[in-house]
Chains A and B, each alone.
Chain A
Amino acid sequence: MDSDIVMVDEKGKRADGREADELRPMKIEAGVLPNADGSAYLEIGKNKVLAAVYGPRECHPRHLQDPTKAIVQCKYNMQSYSVGDRKRPGPDRRSVEISKIISEALESVILTELFPRASIDVYIEIMQANAGTRCAGLSAASVALADAGIPMRDLVPSVAVGKADGKLLLDLNKEEDNFGEADLPLAIIPKTDEVVLLQMDGHMTKEEFDAAMKMGVAACHQIYEMQRDALRRRYSVTEEEEVEE
């Protein structure tokens, strides 16, 4: 790329001081919204994401009902103040696409056949965006689903790997994303390393792609531990002062 911005210095450190395979500081909290059946708040770097889950509940509109299983309806929405220049509120091409891929990723872990004709509604609100919001949203949504008591096979951690300055970097931030060469968001089922979401923007060689996948999967396992920890923390009292009825 023909820019004089240095994203990785001679020592391999990035502009924000991270190593190439280091995640941004991350925080997850489960059960933050009293009115939702399940919810989660997630921060990764400067991203701030809120996810809420409602249901399983009766599916409206009726014609979307599936008599064999529940449907997962996800709505990814960016607040107008979430980015530097005000985002025009409301759904656009990008958020409709992200909503669709996130619902499909979640549908692959939820035991939907337990709730025929029902709908599980997931709302993801991006309060502040700094690259990698679809991954942050998906990670938060899967914690919110577990918090809502929805039966699922596993949690879904998600992270993006990218390329900037010709080097593979984990969990790109805004600058690296904007001036980098490629971005590869992915989500996996940690137990089997099955891929449930994979997109790519930009160019990578096959070798780079393989290395990026490996890096992303390893990071997903880190995020997975944080997700589990967030859920357990919500009921920490349980572990300490348990008494049999």
Chain B
Amino acid sequence: MEDTNTKPKREVVVPGDLLDDKGLRPGSGTYVQEGKVYSSLLGVKSIRSNYVNVIPLSGRYLPQTADTVVGKIIDIGPSNWLVDINAPYPAPLHVNEVPWRVEFGDTARFLKVGDVIMAKILMMDETNKIQVTMNESGMRKLQGGHVIQISYSKVPRVIGKGGSMIQMIKNMTDSRIFVGQNGMIWIEGELDNILVASRAIEMIDEGAQSSNLTERVKEYLESNAPAEGQ
């Protein structure tokens, strides 16, 4: 447990652990009982500006409005598609929310079952009804490529500080990658490169907590990346 950083050591908590009883406010992943804040999740405790939060280590993705996600079409209706975004609920994509003009009943011409799209969470109301949209810049159907699934809580590590991690993987494997907030990742490129890139991402998913992760991933990429990698 070396002190490599100025930040205090983050502590793993399990449901029911006491987080604070001295007036910090309950954040995400917590609940209050008799004035004390307890953890409701298996995760890592973090204190930020008077709030105690628990950052989950596992679990299902719960959509947040304006998240960018990668999703797969799983069903087609006459005026909507159903998108699997790995959330507890189905996410409908209405024809009004796509950049094309779609006649009623003509939905299958635009997106078929199995197609992969980039979409934005339009809203998630208090009854957890989800709506996704493609009427935003950058949202589109993803042609070809390969989709892998990681835990959504590891997405920030895959992206890295200011996008450094994902940029490194993209450059060194010469592939195009989109990371959805829901943990679904779309990769396109040469087959070998896709394999190297997805293995690198899996490494991050498995060892998201370990130190010198960046170096380890870099090392892996250097020894396995195609010749043109730097």
**What is A's interface to B at a CB cutoff of 8 Å?**
37-38, 55-58, 67, 109, 111, 115-118, 146-155, 189-191, 227-228, 231-232, 235, 237-245
Q: Are A154 and B16 in contact (CB under 8 A)?
A: yes
> Which of A56, A111, A146, A191 meets B42, CB within 8 Å?
A146
Residues of B within 8 A of A232 (CB): 12, 14
Residue numbers in B under 8 Å from A231 (CB-CB): 14, 42
A67-B127 CB under 8 A given contacts A55-B88, A150-B59: yes
Query: 1/0 per residue B83-102: CB within 8 Å of A?
Result: 00000111000000000000
30 pairs of residues in contact across A and B, judged by CB atoms under 8 Å: A56-B88, A57-B60, A111-B40, A117-B89, A118-B89, A146-B15, A146-B41, A149-B42, A149-B60, A150-B59, A151-B15, A151-B29, A153-B16, A153-B33, A154-B15, A154-B16, A155-B14, A228-B14, A231-B14, A235-B12, A235-B209, A237-B207, A238-B57, A239-B1, A239-B12, A241-B209, A242-B10, A243-B211, A245-B157, A245-B160
* Beta-carbon contact of B14 and A146 below 8 Å: yes
Say whether A116 contacts B127, CB under 8 Å: yes
Which of A147, A242, A243 is packed against the most chain B CB atoms within 10 Å? Answer: A242
Q: A149-B59, A153-B16 are in contact. Are A243 and B4 (CB under 8 A)?
A: yes
CB distance from A72 to the nearest CB of B (A): 14
Tell yes or no: B7 within 8 A of A by CB.
yes
| A58 to B74 Cα, complex, angstroms | 14
Q: A117 to B127, alpha carbons, bound, how many Å?
A: 8
A55 and B60: CB pair below 8 A? yes
Q: Which residues of B contact A245 (CB under 8 A)?
A: 156-157, 160-161
B56 pairs with A190, CB closer than 8 A: no
| Residue from the list B17, B58, B88, B211 in contact with A147, Cβ < 8 A | B58
Write out the residue numbers on chain A whose beta carbons fall within 8 Å of the beta carbon of B171: none
* A116 vs B15: C-alpha distance when bound (angstroms): 20
- Shortest A7–chain B CB gap in Å is 35
- Which residues of chain A come closer than 8 Å to B31, judged between CB atoms? 111, 151, 153
Report B's interface with A, CB cutoff 8 A: 1, 4-5, 7, 9-12, 14-17, 29, 31, 33, 38, 40-44, 56-60, 88-90, 127-128, 153, 156-157, 160-161, 207, 209-213
Q: Which residue of B lies closest to A233 (CB)?
A: B12
The closest CB in chain B to the CB of A118 belongs to: B88
Q: Do A237 and B58 touch (CB < 8 A)?
A: no
CB proximity of A232 to chain B, nearest CB, Å: 5
Tell me the minimal C-beta distance from A228 to chain B in angstroms: 5
* Contacts A109-B15, A152-B40, A154-B16 supplied; 8 other A-B pairs, CB < 8 Å: A117-B89, A150-B59, A231-B14, A231-B42, A232-B14, A237-B209, A237-B210, A245-B157
A240–B12 alpha-carbon span in the complex (Å)? 11
Task: Determine how close the nearest CB of chain A comes to the CB of B114; give it in whole angstroms.
Answer: 19
Bound CA–CA A37/B151 (angstroms)? 10
Q: Which residue of B lies closest to A111 (CB)?
A: B40
A108 to chain B, nearest CB (A): 13
Residues of B contacting A227 in the complex (Cβ-Cβ under 8 angstroms): 14
Instruction: Kindly state the separation between the CA atoms of A56 and B59 in the bound complex, as whole angstroms.
Output: 9
> What are the 9 closest A-B residue pairs judged by CB atoms, nearest first?
A149-B59, A154-B16, A149-B58, A151-B40, A56-B88, A238-B209, A243-B211, A244-B7, A241-B211
Residues of chain A lying within 8 A (CB to CB) of residue B161: 245
Complex CA gap A245/B162 in Å reads 10
Distance in Å: Cβ of A5 to nearest Cβ of chain B: 41
Q: Are B1 and A155 in contact (CB under 8 A)?
A: no
Which residues of chain A are near B209, meaning CB under 8 Å?
235, 237-238, 241-242
Instruction: Decide if B15 touches A153 in the complex (CB within 8 Å).
Output: yes
Residues of A within 8 A of B57 (CB): 149, 235, 238
With A and B bound together, what is the CA distance between A43 and B89 in angstroms?
35
| Chain B residues with CB under 8 A of A237 | 207, 209-210
| Nearest CB in chain B: distance from A194 CB, A | 11
Residue of chain A at shortest CB distance from B157: A245
Smallest beta-carbon distance B136→chain A, Å: 26
B127 surroundings in chain A (CB, below 8 A): 67, 116-117
Contacts of B11 in A (CB 8 A): 239
